[in-house]
Amino acid sequence: MDMLIKVENITKIYRVGDVEVPAIRGVSFTIKSGEFVSIMGHSGSGKSTIMNILGCLDKPTEGSYMLDGVDTKNLARDQLADIRSRKIGFVFQGFNLLARTSALENVELPMFYSGVSVAERKRKSRYALSIVGLDDRGHHHPSQLSGGQQQRVAIARALVNNAPVILADEPTGNLDSKTSNEIMDLFTRLNRESNITIILVTHEEDIAKYSRRIIRFLDGLIVSDEKVKKAGRKK
């Protein structure tokens, strides 16, 4: 597998008035193309900060972050936005769907500013919805969909630009256990069948075990980085 992500000696310090608050204290790791990795840790451990850096939503104070061979350190804001649109699909706990917009139109959103024709946008969005099993829900609005269906729409939106990596931040946090398992089964299938790299932030051990590798954070440091012996929930 090719190297997709390389993080070297990253630190992140937030300044609150005259006080410096270290969120990340010098961490290094690599993620290969096609991996399924969970990042775990309690609140304040640094897991959300590292997710923002991996998603090019924030920059480290020190250290380097290489994404698909590109050093993001000195990129301007518009260059980072371009990388996000081409290389990264985002899935969030709160779904982040536009309430007055259909499922199909929500999936189209990442393509609105990339010069894709209307016909092509609709074709790609319908295909993305079919991948997540919502072929017949394209014209439904979020209020007409269950929580699990809304998260599937969000996953289709993350897939539509063929980004090589999906960053999922607590994607099952608003779902019941049965629906959570269905969403994680979908992530597992996408990873195995389409070789999409998935990086999942979660505080739930049973959710993390769907991945093949778990990186644990504590107080801004990596305290363990281990392979999962058997992915998926216990039967």
- Is 205 contained in some domain? yes
Could you list the residue range(s) of the whole structural domain that residue 208 is in? 3-227
Q: In the prediction, which pLDDT does 112 show?
A: 82
Which pLDDT belongs to residue 229?
82
Residue with tokens 């451990």: 45
Q: Is 209 inside a domain boundary?
A: yes
DSSP summary character for residue 116: -
- For the entire predicted model, the pTM comes to 0.91
| CATH of residue 74 | 3.40.50.300
- pLDDT at position 115 is 77
The total number of structural domains that make up the chain? 1
Residue at 214 is within a domain: yes
DSSP H helices in 61-131: 77-87, 103-108, 118-131
Residue at 185 is within a domain: yes
- Please indicate, yes or no, if residue 235 is contained in any of the structural domains: no
Q: According to the model, what pLDDT value does residue 73 have?
A: 86
Largest distance between two CA atoms of the chain: 55
Asked if residue 108 belongs to a domain, the reply is yes
What is the per-residue pLDDT for 231?
A: 45
Q: What per-residue confidence (pLDDT) applies to 164?
A: 92
The answer to whether position 77 is within a domain reads: yes
Q: Angle 118-131/147-159 helices, nearest 10 degrees?
A: 130
Q: What confidence score (pLDDT) does residue 1 get? A: 61
Instruction: Please report whether residue 18 resides in a domain.
Output: yes
Q: pLDDT tens track of the chain, all 235 residues?
A: 689 999 999 999 999 889 999 999 999 999 999 999 999 998 889 999 999 999 999 999 999 999 999 999 889 999 999 899 889 999 998 889 999 999 999 999 988 877 788 999 999 999 999 999 999 999 999 999 999 999 999 999 999 988 999 999 999 988 999 999 999 999 999 999 999 999 999 999 999 999 999 999 999 999 999 999 864 454 4
Distance CA 235, CA 232 (A): 9
